[in-house]
Structure 1
Amino acid sequence: MKCAIITEKADVARRISFFLSEGKAKSKRSKGHNYIEFEKDGNTYVVVPLSGHIVEINFPPSMKDWKSVDLRKLVESETVIEVKNRSAYSTLKDIAADADQIIIATDYDREGELIGMEALNIVLEERQRRHLGMPDIKRAKFSALTRQEVTEAFSNLIDVNKAMADSAEAREVIDLLWGAVLTRFFSNATGRWGRDFLSIGRVQTPTLALIVKREREILSFVPEKFWRVFVSFDKGGTFRAEHVEGNIKDHRRVEEILSKVRGKDGRVRSFERWEEPIRRPAPFNTNEFLREASRIGISPANAMRIAESLYNRGYISYPRTDNTVYNRSLPLRKIVESLAETQFSREANMVLSLDSVRPSRGRTEATDHPPIYPASAAKKGELTGDYAKIYELVVRRFLATLYTDGTREVREATIEVSGEEFRARGVRVTEPGWLSIYTYHRQAEAFLPDLHSGEEVKAIDWYEEEDETKPPPRYDMSSLLRKMEELNLGTKSTRHDIIEKLQKRGFIEGNPVRPTPLGMSLIDSILTVESKISEPEMTAELEVDMDRIAENKVDKESVVNQSRKMLSSVLEDFREKEDIINGKIKEAENSGETVGLCPVHSREVIAIKKRDHYEIRCTVEGCPINYRLYARGSIKKTDERCSACSKPLIKVIRKGQSPELRCIDPACAFNVERSRMGKCPSDGGDLVVRQSRNGKRFLSCSNYPKCTVSYPLPQMGTVEPTGQVCQYCGAPILLSIRGRRRWRFCPKMDCQFNRRRGDEEPAS
């Protein structure tokens, strides 16, 4: 018998093959695509990896021209299936079509089920062409790429779930329709095509609207002053108590209180002390994992990419899950025992020292995948950089969910001073419990001594603190993900992608997140009509429909058709407001931050953030001060002028690098001189500092592309030329400065110069 196993990725194919064949599988190639083959129990197995979707939904060729196609027809247009991975498509037909059994082993979620069904349909079509009968069709469900999980999954095969695939396909069609129709409308209405197109999305637009709404609240917020009154006391240490009225808006009342209490000691009216638990965190689901990753400086999109890679390599379980309750069948103690042989031995042994391992539980118990946990133990040094950070985050969270609750002692006292009441609160962690494992969280503590009702306490200071009411905070990545989950915007698998798209398309920036002028004007344009497109309710309703399709309660065609009707109505509303929409977007295109004064007209020079660059120009139409600056990161005003051309100097701030002072004119001698590090050893050209598209700096020859000499540079700190030349390779010797450390190096990393010692210079 021949069995064809279809996987989503090459790493998964290799691990499955290794476990099922006991390491005897062989890699082969067909139609330009790699696959794996092995024999087991007298049967032949072929494992075909797909690299994700090998087909995609699109419009027919007659509907693809943005400018000529009537958008009303596009709403009603049928969709077609196009092959996007020709080599995988051909290999499936060549290798898998004659199999007696087909096993789908893609990720077990809606997207994975759709990918598997797409591949299965290709195989079945080819079998029909060859007049072959129907094969046995099964699905392997696993949540971690470990030997135990994989072998159990293939020993207990289940049926494929067509309803899950239909749900994912309905989402694809609806997202294509809404995205294509409204993106084309807004782009055509404003004349923004090519790289500058205006992207609209069923989920990304209401997400952007959330951010813009918060920014509007911040901009319109009018702060109010208030005061708080404190008395500091001394008993075995200093502590302070706040007046019971809290935020006082009338300063005359503050003066009245202080005039009564100044110079007076206090008398304790009440004192209470109790202990309360510091509850363990729930196991990681996708959204909580992404939020915690953002707190350690790793963006949601990057965290998910790393998590998927760690899953494919067998280090962690499947990272796309809603579940916050470990399955009873999960061998928790065995996993902890494996971690005891790693750098987490102290933490693992803390868990193993308990009489029994009883995990915490979250609110959501699902049946698709367990919470995220470490599937195998990584030795120290196996993972580096952000991969090591994400793995450690998963390990520490897992162990924390298995350890004990913490405990804190809380103390509260009411103290009367000359007839005025003050309250003091103290908190002390008495037993850290899980906090000693999950080191990312800290408990705030405050000192309050033992007090007794009726005793006098010596006051040593009486004072007021002035403050003002604050606007609501901007969303950071963590709180934005939480809000999207709360409003049912997107899914656990798509939310991080939505945020990344908004960043890449120039609608939002920074963390905490703020909308760009373009992002704000886009939402303002959308709000010119009474449409639900910017409201989370419409998207949430569609998410409910996706669930109903997956549960076989409604068919995908009816959901798609209902969405077409809604889209048609929205489009007509926007068509009536086209001129207003165009005006709002044009206004945003001409707004930016002031970076200095024009040396020609003495008018403001503004920096306008575009998708992949800044447009820096004078506000006077036709002024020659008009430049493009391709700089990943942000720019700041300096109030300085260039010594070479008198144009404004700006500060370019890139993540991980020291701020760079630049003239707004890219060709200015000021910039050229500061970026020149020495002569190219190949052709004598200038070696200059450049920035890659990924924001990494490097050295390359000014005669590129004729000369392709280039060198990597340290990403942190500053780099300066020394005027010296390497005696071994001829490259210029550079000086790297990071904090108090200064050291000379050759940019050719494998050069003998860098293997010498004694080139570090003392800090100046």
Structure 2
Amino acid sequence: MTGLIICEKPNVAKKIAEALGKPKKKSHNSVPYYELERNGEDIIVASAVGHLYTLQEKEKTKFGDYPVYDIEWVPASTLDDKKYIQKYIDTLKKVSKEASKFYVATDFDIEGELIGYHALSHACGQKNAHRLRFSSLTKKEIIKSFENPNQIDFGLVDAGDSRHKIDWYFGINVSRALMQAVSSAKRWKTLSTGRVQGPALAFLVDKEIEIKNFIPTPYWVLEAVLDNNLKALHELEKFTDEKRAKEAYEKVKNEKEALVTEIKKTLKSIPPNVPFDLGALQREAHNVFRFSPKKTQEVAQKLYEKGYCSYPRTSSQKLPDDKAYMDEVLKNLSKNKEYSKYIELILSEGRKPVDGKKDDPAHPAIHAVDVPKENLPDDELKLYELIARRTIALYLDDAKREYSKISLEINGEPFKLNGSRTIEEGWHELYYFTKFDEIELPTLKKKDLLRINEIAFEEKETKPPKRYTMASIIKELEKRTLGTKATRADILEKLTKRGYVIDDGSLTVTELGIGVTETLRKFCPEIVEETLTRDLENKLELIQDKKIKKETVIKETKDKLTKILGEFKLKEKEVGNELVEKLDSTNRSMQVIGKCKCGGDMIIIRTKGKKRFVGCSNYPECEITFPIPQKGRIKVINEVCKTCENPIIGLDSIKICVNPDCKTRISEEDRKEMEKAALEEKSCPKCGGKLSIKKGPYGVFRGCENYPKCKYTEKLNGESNEKEVIGKCPKCGNDLLKRKGRFGDFIGCSNYPKCRYTEKIEKKKEGDLEDKIEVTKEKVKAKETLKSEKNLDKTLDNPKPKRTKTASKKKKEELKN
């Protein structure tokens, strides 16, 4: 008897084969599969590559025809970019002929069940099989699932089949309707929406409109600046009554001392963060590493397939209940020396982990299961560290934090100083990604007098609500039950790809995104309302639980969509004109950064080679061009340089004039230094290469010719751009560096965030920092024993691009259209 195990991915097949025995690797048409023997049974382990089958129309219809419902599952190899899939289908067909017993070992969720069933039924010709279910690719769990299999869950299969069909009906038909409308206005643009995409974009649009319509209101802030740059805020914090604010200011403006009236200290225990579900992991990875939700999901899947983490597409916040399993996991993780001391304590005391509230019947929370046995790519290593440290921290002590409030009185007006500090690190020592504010206050007692250096009185305005970020949007989608844990990242990706949303640190909706939503709201509002998609999600769950038939839900969907699209078609041309207007507005706003001196528009132009530069829309009559950095996020901010009257653009977190010769980019001092520097040759102190003069968005500098292998840079006067090393950290032995923070200069460890050691730079007198630095150097000189970390500032060097007449003419024609 021969058994065939069908897996979802080739590397998972390899893992399963190695766990069950000593496999022999074989291949068919370059597709690997494995043969082994276990307990007298011959076993073949083969794999799919995700979905082997896709939905297509049975008969191709014309572009303008909609709605279309006559679809079927066909091999995904029929798609141009999926030709390779046919080899996997052929391999499964071949090995299935040798098998008399079948196992499905794809991921345990809706998509996995559907992938496995399609491979089993279409490629292998079978209607049922044993089902292996596991949440991590550890040897113990694979063997356990193989020895205790159950059956395919046809409720999951039907729910998956229905979801794909319903999403196809919405996505294809409504997208066709939008593009046909644009076509009726004699234009072409790829537009799309979908069952979840439409409502998701709609609430982003609502936020954008709320921001645009926001009317700021004034308020006043009163602060007393004390010694050591301590800032005491008036107890009211924000004055909304101007008269009351001015009265308070008049009372305190000439006062020189503040009286301490009360000191309150509160000790709080901060428990460890609960285990990761997929949404929480996506949010944390975005906050810490700026990973997109899509990237986090992909990297987490790789870690799972390599056997280092558990299955990522879960909504659970609870670790497995099996203590023996978790003890084995912890022992595996203790192979990492950084983790071992914590794990020894956990195991010796039999500690239990912290759990969250959410549960998932399919999978536990995301947790690390083993240490990497090879050097992981940087992104995988970052995410692994995040997951592994979170897993272990769940067992550790609460962090202890002290929160202080010092009440002050200045001529009868109440002020306050707020401080916070960590007393005991607890879990935070290991999981240092969570940020704590450390605001040290001086040791004071009641009736102490503090010297006032300045009274600051400022009028401010309320700010509009914040836009969603890639982290907060995931949480909002979860809250509104839009999409699934597996699909939310793809929805966001589509919104940015279609030009509906720009991710520039926060999610800004374009005029096109607003236009598509407003048009749909006007002509077929059901498409963008959350009610319809939430109702369908509920019905899909009922299909999954076998409480309703999939045929009933699919028929209801067809009937509803036919009615909606019928009404849309009656106003197709009107819809098209509105969409074209929004499309043109979006294109202009994304390209035009300001006015050229000839009267034309200065626009961002991208060449075929994906290079970018700024040029005039009146080319070839006007040949003005400016180079711009090829890396970094550019934002149109509609500002003009006061020095040279050329446009200013946003580059990541800074603003720069597009004119590289502008005095704001190159100072007079830099010009003189450039002339001197041109006369002398210098070698790189790190690698011996030649140092050349370079101009970047952040100024002029010398950089090594061997960039990017060597990233050494220095100022034209010879001063290195490397951060100043003060000495060695008394806590961990790494370099102490002079740093800048929101409260001014300070001394901090180069091993941040792993080591959070800092020292204040106490000024002897105003502006004198060097004395404290020299003292610090002497204090730590005896401890200088470990290697220095290299800290280099990255600077871009962007030569002026060449511009061809032909390419520019094409661009000009596009703009006119």
The answer to whether the 8 A contact 2:407-2:417 is kept is yes
Which residue of structure 1 lines up, in the alignment, with residue 53 of structure 2? 55
User: Does 2:306 align with 1:313?
Assistant: yes
Deviation at 1:53?
1.3
Which residue of structure 2 lines up, in the alignment, with residue 255 of structure 1? 246
Change (3 A) 1:333 1:56: same
Change (3 A) 1:109 1:549: same
Give me the identity figure in percent: 28
Deviation at 1:7?
0.3
The answer to whether the 8 A contact 2:132-2:145 is kept is yes
Which residue of structure 1 lines up, in the alignment, with residue 108 of structure 2? 108
Which residue of structure 1 lines up, in the alignment, with residue 705 of structure 2? 744
Q: Which moved more, 1:333-342 or 1:499-508?
A: 333-342
**Correspondence for 2:593 among 592, 595, 600:** 595
1:294-334 CA-partner distances (Å, limit 9, x unpaired): 11122211121111111111111111111101111153333
Which residue of structure 2 lines up, in the alignment, with residue 201 of structure 1? 194
The answer to whether the 8 A contact 1:14-1:36 is kept is yes
Q: Output the CA distance in 1 between the equivalents of 2:236 and 2:456.
A: 15
Which residue of structure 2 lines up, in the alignment, with residue 245 of structure 1? 236
**Correspondence for 2:217 among 210, 224, 229:** 224
Which residue of structure 2 lines up, in the alignment, with residue 153 of structure 1? 145
The within-5 A match list for 1:397-546 is 397-448=390-441, 455=447, 457-460=449-452, 461-509=454-502, 510-529=504-523, 531-546=525-540
The within-5 A match list for 1:607-646 is 634-635=633-634
Q: Which moved more, 1:734-743 or 1:35-44?
A: 734-743
Q: Output the CA distance in 2 between the equivalents of 1:154 and 1:256.
A: 78
The answer to whether the 8 A contact 1:28-1:36 is kept is yes
Which residue of structure 2 lines up, in the alignment, with residue 675 of structure 1? none
The within-5 A match list for 1:612-691 is 634-635=633-634
The answer to whether the 8 A contact 1:187-1:193 is kept is no
Q: Which moved more, 1:590-599 or 1:169-178?
A: 590-599
The answer to whether the 8 A contact 2:301-2:312 is kept is yes
Structure 2: gaps of 5 or more residues: 78-84, 661-680, 682-688, 711-716, 721-817
The answer to whether the 8 A contact 2:317-2:355 is kept is yes
The answer to whether the 8 A contact 2:648-2:655 is kept is no
The answer to whether the 8 A contact 2:179-2:188 is kept is no
Which residue of structure 2 lines up, in the alignment, with residue 277 of structure 1? 269
Change (3 A) 1:332 1:279: same
2:282 alignment partner AA: L
Deviation at 1:83?
5.0
The answer to whether the 8 A contact 2:211-2:464 is kept is yes
The answer to whether the 8 A contact 1:336-1:351 is kept is no
Change (3 A) 1:527 1:734: farther
Q: Output the CA distance in 2 between the equivalents of 1:658 and 1:99.
A: 66
Total equivalences in the alignment: 662
Q: Output the CA distance in 1 between the equivalents of 2:240 and 2:297.
A: 47
User: Does 2:382 align with 1:384?
Assistant: no
3-state SS of the aligned residue for 1:557?
helix
Change (3 A) 1:383 1:252: same
Relative to the length of structure 2, the TM-score reads 0.73
Which residue of structure 2 lines up, in the alignment, with residue 131 of structure 1? none
The answer to whether the 8 A contact 2:482-2:533 is kept is yes
Q: Output the CA distance in 2 between the equivalents of 1:436 and 1:481.
A: 28
1:51 alignment partner AA: V
Change (3 A) 1:301 1:618: same
User: Does 2:88 align with 1:88?
Assistant: yes
Structure 1: gaps of 5 or more residues: 128-133, 664-723, 725-731, 755-760
Which residue of structure 1 lines up, in the alignment, with residue 796 of structure 2? none
1:243 alignment partner AA: H
The answer to whether the 8 A contact 1:228-1:247 is kept is yes
Q: Output the CA distance in 1 between the equivalents of 2:141 and 2:58.
A: 42
**Correspondence for 2:558 among 554, 561, 564:** 564
The answer to whether the 8 A contact 1:260-1:418 is kept is yes
Deviation at 1:102?
0.6
The answer to whether the 8 A contact 1:244-1:422 is kept is yes
1:364 alignment partner AA: K
User: Does 2:318 align with 1:325?
Assistant: yes
The answer to whether the 8 A contact 1:342-1:378 is kept is no
2:286 alignment partner AA: S
**Correspondence for 1:211 among 204, 217, 221:** 204
Relative to the length of structure 1, the TM-score reads 0.77
Q: Output the CA distance in 1 between the equivalents of 2:336 and 2:718.
A: 38
The answer to whether the 8 A contact 2:272-2:394 is kept is yes
Q: Which moved more, 1:80-89 or 1:309-318?
A: 80-89
1:436-469 CA-partner distances (Å, limit 9, x unpaired): 111112211334456666x353351433233210
1:447-504 CA-partner distances (Å, limit 9, x unpaired): 4456666x35335143323321011111111101111111111111111111112222
The answer to whether the 8 A contact 1:339-1:348 is kept is no
Which residue of structure 2 lines up, in the alignment, with residue 554 of structure 1? 548
Change (3 A) 1:9 1:647: farther
Q: Output the CA distance in 1 between the equivalents of 2:579 and 2:13.
A: 48
The answer to whether the 8 A contact 1:524-1:584 is kept is no
Change (3 A) 1:632 1:503: farther
User: Does 2:185 align with 1:188?
Assistant: no
Change (3 A) 1:439 1:634: closer
Deviation at 1:107?
0.4
3-state SS of the aligned residue for 2:204?
helix
